[in-house]
Each structure stands twice: as C-alpha cells, then as structure tokens.
Structure 1
C-alpha cells in the first residue's frame, strides 16, 4: 500500500541524485521507495563513515554533531511513543 510523504525541493533533488547512482550501480530502474530503503539500510548499519559522508548534505554540522542530534532525536521518539 502506498503512502504520500512531503519533502523539500532540496531533499527531493538529493534523493534523485542518489536514485541515479543506484540505477547505475544496479543496472535497473529504481524508484523513491528503493532510495529510501537503501538509505534506511545504511542508517541501520550505523556506519560512522556513512554518517560522515552525509555531513556534506547538511552544511555547518560535524559528524559528531550529526550523531549527537540523531541520538537526541531517538530519545525524543522513545519518550513520545513510550518505547
């Protein structure tokens, strides 16, 4: 079942770039769902090098700041959903 999500134009541009790279790598057409699944798999691995590579997308943040913000976000979600 499909769902609709809203993203900014900049995020959409970044997702399209990743989509193009995945299509080249896989040799087949991919869609936004494939891109999001790919990014989620990277997140689940929690590889610090991958997090550092994303810093360029978010100007003025160091890898450490990005990791700290993510930890805070996880804590907020736990409190919000009682996990």
Structure 2
C-alpha cells in the first residue's frame, strides 16, 4: 500500500492519539493513524450521529478552522495544478 502524507494541527493529532488509545483498548491490539482514520470514515459512512457528536466535540473550534483552511488551500492547489 502506498502511503501519503497529510498535515494536521497539533490539537487534531492529540485528539487522534486519544481515539487511537481507545481503539487499542477496545481491539486489544496496536493500531496506527491509518486505522484511526478508517474508523472515523466508517463512522461517517454509517452516519452514527451519537459517535460523530462525541468525536466532533473532542476537536477544538480553532482546530476545525485550521482544517477547513487547509482543505481550502488543497482545493486551490488542485485547481491550479489541473488548469493549463
């Protein structure tokens, strides 16, 4: 599997580590950031509102703003990359 690099704020990384710890306890095995992201994506796809509310509540507002800004920049870069 090819790996990619993504950037997250320190606050988001801290929250991902908390979720990682919870998953490790729940599963009884070591998990990595990829496992955490897959877990979060599966929750999103299942639209588990209670779990999503709990997880979203973990992320500080300034981290959400940072994520939104980073995503906006990524979209702009993609547009520039594909325009000739």
User: For structure 2, which runs of at least 5 residues remain unmatched after alignment?
Assistant: 62-84
Residues 1-83 of structure 1 correspond to what in structure 2 (within 5 A)?
1-58=2-59
Distance in 2, matches of 1:44 and 1:20, equals: 22
| Structural RMSD (CA) | 1.6
Distance in 2 between the 1:5 and 1:44 partners?
A: 21
Distance 1:59 1:8 in 2: 11
State the Cα distance separating 1:35 from its structure 2 match: 0.3
Q: For 1:34-80, what per-residue CA distance to the aligned partner results, in whole angstroms no more than 9, with x for missing partners?
A: 000000000001122123223422457xxxxxxxxxxxxxxxxxxxx
Aligned-partner Cα distance in 1 for 2:24–2:56? 23
TM-score (structure 2 length as normaliser): 0.64
| Alignment TM-score, normalising by the size of structure 1 | 0.65
Higher relative contact order (CA closer than 8 Å, sequence separation 6+):
2
Instruction: Name whichever of 21-30 and 51-60 sits farther off.
Output: 51-60
